[in-house]
Amino acid sequence: DGTVLANEQIPGLAMHYTIDGSVPTTRSPLVSGPIAATGTVRVAAFDHNGRAGTVAQLDASHALAR
């Protein structure tokens, strides 16, 4: 249905995402529920100092085609 779900229940971390394929930063939107997307979604968790963990990537259009 064009949405990506990410578990945002990680104590002490903030999850930020992009839908244009760029690497998420602390200025990217916060994950607060399903992400409406049809292209590349990238998500990263950030600690309180702004340090990012590994970036997860999903091609939503490919996932929808399955």
Q: What confidence tens digit (pLDDT) does each residue in 44-54 have?
A: 999 999 999 99
Give residue-wise pLDDT tens across range 23-64: 999 999 999 888 888 889 999 999 999 999 999 998 877 654
Who's near 3: CB < 8 A, 6+ residues apart? 34, 35, 36, 37
